[in-house]
């Protein structure tokens, strides 16, 4: 089916190389390879890692590990403690708490459509999903368990050696295979059945307010052309509404703090002073369910987020140029960086953001706790 997309959206729908549906033929004795259940309007240029193909058995194992509390030092938490399905795999807290009530310093990111990303955590310190998956196990503020101990615990559990053999052909459990299994499950966390998706598929109409919000979301303002926009899609791109997956281009200083208060962000990974204050632009799928917002959870509501971009941008040497030059009014000679959206325009954008909520995603039994 060809999807009619307004010209202002500037996107082309193509058939995905990673297709929906049927399992691929697999060797009788090996794990059964499957394909991601993704729509054809998601990007088609992201290959599955050659050394970690998606399989039924790997996904099953990864789901169990995602909910496995044995992977925390005191057996009290799992990955799912900070990434809860009903909250679109976030946790509703400004900062999550690990074992022994250890408090983190970053907001727990929502997990969805991870296959189309290639840098993980707010500062991008993990290059791959496989690498990201195991870091919280050892982090002293999170699960606080040496990976060697995690391996021993899984080896001592009668069900896991056989599950690893089914998934990877060996009962020898190690950190690499734990990461691969978790990554396989996390890649299946695809959110693509919101009202916005139904609109893309020509199944529903958006309300006038939602449609205005969508147009504003995907438009970069240009007052010289009397073109009004919310400037959202400059950082939250395309149908995924997510940051650019190419290297570090999806990281931005979005004006949260003045220069003297900037957190290191991406600079802690690259060592480049120009990266100070830059953080990952997350996907906005299910954004209405994942408050609080920003890397430090400082905003409790979407209204606060829009107010920030509209009136409270803090200028600094690394402020993203996409924000610096975005305004719905011509320069007035001041140094203030403001978007100048009207109250009704902000309300419309928030209405559109609510169309990104995917009820199927947050109730899908394939993503739920297998131990319940």
Q: Binding site: what residues are annotated?
A: 79, 82-83, 232, 235-236
Q: Which residue has the tokens 């100048």?
A: 340
3-state DSSP assignment of residue 280: strand
Task: Determine the Cα–Cα distance for residues 178 and 155; give it in Å rounded to an integer.
Answer: 12
Task: Determine the Cα–Cα distance for residues 360 and 168; give it in Å rounded to an integer.
Answer: 30
Instruction: Report, in this order, helix, strand and coil percent for the chain, each rounded to 5.
Output: 40, 5, 55
DSSP for residue 296: T
Q: Contact at 8 Å (CB) between 94 and 81? A: no
Q: In angstroms, what is the C-alpha Rg of the chain?
A: 21
Q: Which residue has the tokens 């459990």?
A: 173
Task: Determine the Cα–Cα distance for residues 246 and 263; give it in Å rounded to an integer.
Answer: 23
Tokens encoding 85: 């399905």
Binding site, annotated residues for heme c: 79, 82-83, 232, 235-236
Tokens encoding 103: 């408090």
Task: Determine the Cα–Cα distance for residues 80 and 123; give it in Å rounded to an integer.
Answer: 21
């Amino acid at each position: 089916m060809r999807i009619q997309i307004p010209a202002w959206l500037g996107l082309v729908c193509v058939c995905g190389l990673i297709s929906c549906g049927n399992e691929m033929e697999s060797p009788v004795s090996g794990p059964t390879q499957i394909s991601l259940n993704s729509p054809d309007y998601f990007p088609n240029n992201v290959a599955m890692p050659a050394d970690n193909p998606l399989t039924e058995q790997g996904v099953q194992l990864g789901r169990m590990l995602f909910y496995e509390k044995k992977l925390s030092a005191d057996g009290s938490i799992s990955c799912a403690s900070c990434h809860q399905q009903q909250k679109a795999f976030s946790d509703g807290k400004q900062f999550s708490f690990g074992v022994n009530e250890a408090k983190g310093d970053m907001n727990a990111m929502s997990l969805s459509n991870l296959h189309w990303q290639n840098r993980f955590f707010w500062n991008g310190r993990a290059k791959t999903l496989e690498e990201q998956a195991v870091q919280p196990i050892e982090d002293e503020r999170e699960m606080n368990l040496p990976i060697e101990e995690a391996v021993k615990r899984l080896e001592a559990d009668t069900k896991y050696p056989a599950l690893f053999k089914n998934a990877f052909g060996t009962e020898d459990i190690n950190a690499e295979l734990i990461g691969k299994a978790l990554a396989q499950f996390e890649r299946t966390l695809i959110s693509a059945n919101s009202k916005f998706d139904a609109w893309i598929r020509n199944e529903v109409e958006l309300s006038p307010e939602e449609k205005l919000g969508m147009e504003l979301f995907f438009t970069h303002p240009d007052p010289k052309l009397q073109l009004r926009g919310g400037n959202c899609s400059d950082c939250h791109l395309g149908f995924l509404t997510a940051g650019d997956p190419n290297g570090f281009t999806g990281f931005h200083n979005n004006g949260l703090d003045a220069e003297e208060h900037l957190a290191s962000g991406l600079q802690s990974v690259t060592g480049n002073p120009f990266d100070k204050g830059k953080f990952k632009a997350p996907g906005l799928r299910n954004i209405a369910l994942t408050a609080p917002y920003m890397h430090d959870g400082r905003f409790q509501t979407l209204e606060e987020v829009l107010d920030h971009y509209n009136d409270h941008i803090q200028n600094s040497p690394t402020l993203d140029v996409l924000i610096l030059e975005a305004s719905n009014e011509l320069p007035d000679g001041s140094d203030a960086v403001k978007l100048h959206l009207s109250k009704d325009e902000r309300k419309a954008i928030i209405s559109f953001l609510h169309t990104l909520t995917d009820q199927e995603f947050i109730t899908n039994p394939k993503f739920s706790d297998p131990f319940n």
